[in-house]
């Protein structure tokens, strides 16, 4: 009898313990971490100017004069580059590592976001016409001049003819027509778009290829081009226009670049940049290893997340690095419900019809939105280093609709909305719909992404306050994407997408109803029945018109409206934007960190203080 | 001549085994709900046309049995195909195999060099303090999970700064002279070798000790001693020769583990070996790469067993008579 008493006591204690674990402990936000980072420091970047010396049009850096020599070691997470051909790259790492070597005609001003000339000396936009003047006397790394022929070849024979990754080409087709490119003289090129098409100007930052190197590859056909300048190509075969050229690639370890002696940027003493002799990217397997390598001194620059920021901020005081806040991230993180009402090829609904009724109900979606405690997530998951997000455009987008107000968690309002749609709670607090089905669904995210997993746990808790039963299932990334874009058998998901703060048209694959990433109501390729919601139709319309308008004010109106629709209809329930925090060793000078360009956008101007 | 016939017989026996292994692996990988193009699909800037092109290039639009047929045909021709990134599987493997071999051969060499004598010493000094100490040490070695030990050593490397944090070479490797390069690689190898060495040493030492103890207790050893042979002859000519037999079988398995045995440690130390490559390939269902590695593993296992058996035939007259 006594024994039984002990057993009961132990069970009660365990139950109490577990109960207190399960309950959310919401600490009072005392001194939020982001107070320290409240404002990104206003940075005055002295933009480079054009100067002509002995008939050569240089780009002259206006930053303080530095010292030559030294090495900067950065890193990429994952398997490393898949190709060094910038026209073949389909993933961010390959693009980053190949575009270091090839400059584009234009680039983006790191502070204002305006397009400014880079490899081009100047440019002039006149409606549908883009007139580009090239620099005289500028050379490839092998000494051959960079001329209009290279530009025309790159655009006509590589991009327009559909070599490599055709995404650039596909994104500039207007009404089935491509822009045209023509050589006016050796140093002047004219592009003409079939209609006034505003996003085109951003495309002009695409890399330019050396004709004398790429021509033979193009002649051998598309299949050969796909393998051209792969990771197995000897480094000496690369002829580049960028600040650096490839020196060594060691699979799964690192990519090493050396300075391009023919680079066209000079400092104020007219000496050729870059200052650094070498630029190294270490290929590391995961974030933890990257942090260890930085702490071990093998890395010079690192991007930081969540808990590490607080630790590094503490370490900073007696270490040789400085932590920079680069502002909110350009990507978005969101919770989405599956609005799919179609059947799969076996004749079964992709989404259970009773769940369809919930998800298609705007009140239900808004109730979920009101139930989510974004501030709590920012505080607990991002360590206070983030801002709640309510809009489809990221917080640093120049197209952000500032009229869309943020709000706090509001359970009363959420319950009210649910009641309006006939949902009710039983005595135990469980939520039922008006046909007496208990509200229960699956919530997915990709396993291994600790941030999204943490958000999932908190979303589950928040929605349980409404009486919903949420089965949270983190699954392998590739499996999850398969569900989202191929089999459509999911209820709710937490996902993130990259975005551009400068050009909303990049989101057309997501927002247009026939897009490949129109996740919340994904239609199979070639689907031709028009079953769009009214607001989907309107967004389709806006995306077409927004790209064709040319004045910023006109475009802003269109994109403001699409954000307002997304804000009202909640196909995506945005969660928060983490701040981008980076750390770099203090011995590196000429740093002008910016939200748009990051820490090393002016890599040729950065030098190492010995 | 007979031994050649035996080898031939074993090789022919292996063929149906390999076919079954390849068939099952191929179907399991392809039937798993993993989309090899996931990363592309989730990139808003990749167009539908590009996705379509990729699907066709990888043959994902055809039925699985056709895909298997295509793979098997090129595999027989010695062509391992291309990875989902369009690189040749054979070049990918060639980049990594030497690194993994370097690590595993050093480890195997060291463990056998140290483990066998330690086992003998422990058996000969049975129940002595020395044996007891070795038992405690090897028990600890066997009890530590390899990844945990690896992580501990990695933290040690960061805190002390005495060792590099993973990898195989430093970023200024090319500028070093040959001696510097060898030292650099050695410096990087110390920690991963320590992990693998500690773990496999424990098992090997225990095995050798148990074998020798078994043999020392047998009648023919007693007889040899009774015959008045010197202790040296008894142990090294009679006991040891018989105790080493099971170790040869073990060596066959070690051979199979040459390419795949260190995957976990490789991952923790970011070692540029096969383990990391294959793990990443499995994650995104890179069929040709995964198949190549699985087939390689199967072939290495069969080959390892074959080698062990041949060695046994050579060392053990009893097997020679019954088997061949």
Does A227 contact chain B (CB < 8 Å)?
A: yes
Contact call for A525 and B35, based on CB within 8 A = no
Answer whether A436's CB lies under 8 Å from A403's CB.
Answer: no
Give the one of B45, B48, B267 whose C-beta lies nearest to A285's C-beta.
B267
- Compare all CA atoms of chain A with the CA of B85 and give the residue at the minimum distance: A82
Omega before A274 cis (within 30°)? yes
Overall average pLDDT of the A312-326 stretch = 89
Distance CA B141, CA B197 (A): 9
Does A251 contact chain B (CB < 8 Å)?
A: yes
Chain B hits for A251, Cβ within 8 Å: 92, 95-96, 272
Mapped onto helix, strand or coil, the DSSP state of residue A49 is strand
Interface of A with B in 401-430 (CB under 8 A): none
Token code pair at residue A496: 């993130």
Q: Tell me what pLDDT residue A17 has.
A: 55
Q: How far is B167 from chain A (nearest CA, A)?
A: 6
Task: Provide the mean pLDDT of chain A.
Answer: 88
Does A235 contact chain B (CB < 8 Å)?
A: no
Answer whether A378's CB lies under 8 Å from A386's CB.
Answer: yes
Q: How far is B120 from chain A (nearest CA, A)?
A: 40
- Is residue A19 very low, low, confident or very high in pLDDT (cuts 50, 70, 90)? low
Answer whether B48's CB lies under 8 Å from B55's CB.
Answer: no
Overall average pLDDT of the B187-210 stretch = 90
pLDDT beyond 70 at A36: no
Classify residue B82 by its DSSP letter.
B
Angle A58-A63-A68 from CA coordinates, rounded to 5°: 80
Distance CA A604, CA A62 (A): 12
- Segment A110-145, tens digit of pLDDT: 888 889 999 999 999 988 999 999 999 999 999 999
Distance CA A325, CA A328 (A): 9
Strands A254-259 and A244-250, sheet pairing: antiparallel
Categorise residue A229: left if φ over 0, alpha if ψ from -120 to 50, beta otherwise. left
Most confident of A405-414, A480-489, B75-84, B153-162: A405-414
- Segment B114-131, tens digit of pLDDT: 998 999 889 888 888 988
φ/ψ of A441, rounded to 5, equals -150, 170
DSSP per-residue codes, A124-191: EEETTEEEEEEPTT-B-TTSPBP-HHHHHIIIIIIIITT-S-THHHHHT-BTTB--EEEEEETTEEEE
> What is the ipTM for the molecules in this complex?
0.81
Contact call for B40 and A90, based on CB within 8 A = yes
- Considering Cα of A497, then A503, then A507, then A509, what sign does the dihedral take? negative
φ/ψ of A524, rounded to 5, equals -65, 155
Chain A hits for B29, Cβ within 8 Å: none
Contact call for B164 and A256, based on CB within 8 A = no
Q: Tell me what pLDDT residue A24 has.
A: 42
Interface test with A, best of B29, B40, B43, B264 (most A CBs within 10 A): B43
Proportion of chain B in helix, strand, coil states, percent, rounded to 5? 75, 0, 20
Contact call for B171 and A289, based on CB within 8 A = no
Burial class (CB in 10 A: 0-12, 13-18, 19+), A164: buried
Contact call for A82 and B51, based on CB within 8 A = no
- Is residue B258 very low, low, confident or very high in pLDDT (cuts 50, 70, 90)? confident
Answer whether A384's CB lies under 8 Å from A578's CB.
Answer: no
Residues 6+ apart with CB under 8 A from A87: A158, A159, A163, A164, A165, A207, A209, A225
Of chain A, the percentage scoring pLDDT greater than 70 comes to: 93
What chain A holds in terms of domains, given with CATH numbers, is 332-579 (3.10.105.10)
Q: Tell me what pLDDT residue A398 has.
A: 87
- Compare all CA atoms of chain B with the CA of A90 and give the residue at the minimum distance: B40
Distance CA B324, CA B305 (A): 16
- Is residue A85 very low, low, confident or very high in pLDDT (cuts 50, 70, 90)? very high
Contact call for A478 and B35, based on CB within 8 A = yes
- Segment A174-215, tens digit of pLDDT: 888 999 999 999 999 999 999 888 889 999 999 999 999 999
- Segment A559-577, tens digit of pLDDT: 999 999 999 999 999 999 9
- Is residue A23 very low, low, confident or very high in pLDDT (cuts 50, 70, 90)? very low
Lowest-confidence segment of A6-10, A540-544, B124-128, B211-215 by average pLDDT: A6-10
The pTM of this model reads: 0.83
Classify residue A64 by its DSSP letter.
P
Query: Which has the higher per-residue pLDDT, B147 or A457?
Result: A457
Does A122 contact chain B (CB < 8 Å)?
A: no
Give the one of B95, B158, B285 whose C-beta lies nearest to A292's C-beta.
B158
Does A21 contact chain B (CB < 8 Å)?
A: no
Answer whether A341's CB lies under 8 Å from A356's CB.
Answer: yes
Q: Tell me what pLDDT residue A10 has.
A: 63
């Amino acid at each position: 009898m006594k024994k039984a008493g002990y057993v009961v006591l132990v069970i009660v204690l365990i139950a109490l313990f577990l109960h207190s674990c399960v309950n959310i402990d919401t600490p009072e936000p005392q001194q939020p971490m982001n107070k320290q980072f409240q404002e990104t420091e206003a940075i005055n970047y002295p933009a480079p100017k054009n100067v002509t010396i002995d008939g050569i049009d240089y780009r002259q850096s206006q930053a303080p004069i530095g010292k030559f020599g030294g090495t900067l070691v950065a890193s990429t997470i994952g398997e490393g580059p898949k190709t060094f051909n910038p026209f073949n790259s389909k993933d961010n790492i390959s693009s980053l590592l190949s575009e270091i070597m090839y400059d584009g005609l234009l680039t983006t001003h790191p502070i204002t976001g305006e397009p400014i000339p880079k490899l081009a000396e100047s440019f002039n936009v006149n409606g549908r016409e883009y007139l580009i003047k090239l620099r005289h006397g500028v050379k490839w790394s092998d000494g051959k001049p960079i001329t209009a022929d290279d530009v025309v070849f790159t655009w006509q024979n590589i991009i327009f003819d559909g070599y490599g990754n055709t995404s650039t080409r596909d994104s500039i087709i207007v009404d089935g027509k491509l822009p045209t490119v023509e050589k006016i003289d050796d140093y002047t090129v004219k592009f003409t778009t079939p209609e006034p098409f505003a996003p085109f100007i951003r495309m002009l930052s695409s890399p330019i290829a050396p004709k004398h190197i790429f021509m033979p590859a193009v002649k051998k056909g598309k299949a050969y081009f796909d393998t051209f300048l792969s990771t197995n190509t000897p480094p000496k075969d690369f002829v580049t226009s960028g600040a650096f050229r490839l020196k060594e690639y060691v699979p799964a370890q690192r990519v090493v670049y050396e300075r391009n002696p023919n680079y066209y940027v000079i400092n104020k003493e007219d000496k050729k940049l870059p200052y650094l002799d070498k630029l190294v990217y270490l290929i590391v397997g995961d974030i933890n290893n990257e942090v260890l390598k930085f702490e071990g001194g093998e890395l010079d620059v690192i991007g930081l997340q969540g808990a590490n920021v607080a630790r590094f901020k503490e370490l900073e005081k007696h270490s040789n690095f400085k932590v920079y806040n680069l502002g909110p991230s350009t990507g978005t993180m969101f919770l989405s419900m599956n609005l799919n009402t179609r059947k799969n090829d076996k004749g079964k609904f992709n989404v259970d019809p009773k769940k369809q009724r919930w998800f298609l109900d705007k009140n239900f979606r808004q109730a979920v939105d009101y139930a989510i405690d974004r501030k709590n997530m920012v505080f607990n998951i991002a360590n206070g280093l983030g801002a709640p997000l309510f809009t489809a455009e990221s917080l640093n987008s120049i197209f952000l609709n500032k009229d869309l107000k943020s709000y706090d968690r509001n359970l009363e309002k959420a319950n009210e909305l649910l009641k309006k749609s006939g949902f009710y709670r039983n005595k135990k607090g469980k939520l039922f719909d008006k046909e007496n089905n208990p509200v229960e669904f699956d919530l997915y995210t990709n396993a291994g992404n600790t941030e999204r997993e943490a958000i999932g746990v908190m979303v589950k808790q928040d929605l349980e306050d409404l009486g919903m039963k949420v089965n949270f299932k983190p699954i392998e990334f590739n499996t999850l994407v398969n569900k989202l874009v191929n089999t459509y058998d999911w209820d709710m998901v937490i996902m993130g997408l990259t975005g551009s703060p400068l050009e909303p048209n990049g989101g057309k694959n997501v927002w247009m109803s026939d897009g490949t990433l129109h996740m919340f109501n994904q239609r199979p390729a070639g689907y031709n029945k028009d079953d769009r919601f009214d607001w989907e139709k309107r967004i389709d319309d806006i995306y077409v018109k927004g790209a064709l308008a040319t004045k910023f004010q006109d475009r802003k109106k269109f994109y403001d409206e699409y954000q307002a629709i997304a804000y009202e209809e909640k196909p995506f329930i945005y969660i928060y934007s983490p701040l981008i925090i980076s750390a770099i060793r203090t011995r590196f000078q000429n740093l002008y960190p910016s939200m748009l360009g990051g820490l090393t956008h002016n890599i040729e101007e950065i030098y190492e203080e010995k | 001549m007979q031994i050649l016939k035996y080898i031939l017989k074993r090789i022919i026996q292996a063929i149906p085994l390999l076919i079954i292994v390849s068939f099952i692996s191929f179907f399991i990988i392809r039937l798993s709900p993993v989309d090899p193009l996931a990363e592309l699909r989730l990139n808003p800037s990749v167009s539908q046309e590009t996705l379509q092109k990729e699907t066709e290039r990888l043959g994902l639009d055809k039925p699985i049995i056709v895909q298997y047929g295509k793979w098997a045909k090129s595999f027989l021709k010695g062509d391992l195909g291309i990875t989902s990134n369009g690189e040749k599987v054979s070049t990918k493997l060639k980049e990594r195999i030497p690194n993994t071999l370097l690590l595993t051969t050093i480890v195997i060499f060291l463990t056998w060099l140290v483990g066998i004598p330690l086992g003998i010493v422990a058996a000969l000094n049975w129940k002595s303090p020395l044996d007891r100490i070795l038992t405690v040490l090897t028990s600890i070695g066997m009890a530590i999970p390899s990844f945990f030990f690896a992580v501990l050593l990695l933290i040690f490397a960061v805190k002390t700064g005495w060792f590099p944090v993973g990898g195989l070479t430093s970023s200024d490797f090319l500028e070093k002279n040959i001696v510097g390069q060898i030292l650099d690689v050695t410096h990087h190898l110390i920690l991963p070798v320590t992990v693998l060495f500690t773990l496999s040493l424990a098992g090997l030492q225990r095995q050798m000790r148990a074998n020798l103890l078994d043999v020392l207790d047998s009648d023919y050893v007693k007889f040899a001693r009774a015959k008045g042979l010197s202790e040296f002859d008894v142990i090294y000519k009679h006991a040891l020769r018989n105790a080493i037999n099971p170790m040869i079988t073990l060596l066959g398995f070690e051979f199979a583990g040459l390419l795949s045995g260190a995957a976990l440690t490789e991952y923790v130390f970011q070692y540029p070996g096969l383990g990391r490559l294959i793990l990443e390939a499995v994650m995104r269902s890179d069929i040709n790469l995964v198949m190549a590695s699985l087939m390689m593993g199967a072939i290495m296992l069969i080959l390892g067993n074959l080698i062990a058996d041949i060695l046994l035939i050579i060392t053990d007259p009893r097997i020679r008579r019954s088997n061949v």
